[in-house]
Amino acid sequence: MSPNSPKRTAHRTDAAPEKDGGQTKPVVDGKSAPKMPHEQDESADSQQACNVSTEQIGKQAFEDIDSGQVDTDRGSVTQRVYEGLKHKP
């Protein structure tokens, strides 16, 4: 940031978090400004609310495995390959 560029800050729209739901408002030189792409992606007010509880997700996972569906996660396969390569001389 050059010394002459405007100072960009973000501040809460309201001091009480329960009232604004975590919304932030970018400010440049004391004036309201549009959000930059990374601010849009990371700000609390741009996040989608999850309507499914972790308990519901767990129950669905149990039902899926119980009904014979196969876990398609590649984590265990990747770990085995990594461990095999890591210990090679």
This prediction has a pTM of 0.33
More confident residue, 20 or 66: 66
Residue 1 lies in a domain: no
**Residue 28 to residue 61: CA distance in whole angstroms:** 47
Residue 3 lies in a domain: no
Which pLDDT value is given to residue 20? 52
Torsion sign across C-alpha atoms 11, 15, 17, 18: negative
Number of domains in the chain: 1
Q: Which domain holds residue 17?
A: 8-86
N residues, the chain: 89
Residue with tokens 């590649």: 74
Residue-wise pLDDT tens digits, 3-14? 566 665 555 444
Residue 77 lies in a domain: yes
Residue-wise pLDDT tens digits, 33-81? 887 777 777 666 666 777 788 899 899 999 999 999 988 888 888 998 9
- Cβ-based neighbours of 29, under 8 Å, separated by 6 or more: 6, 7
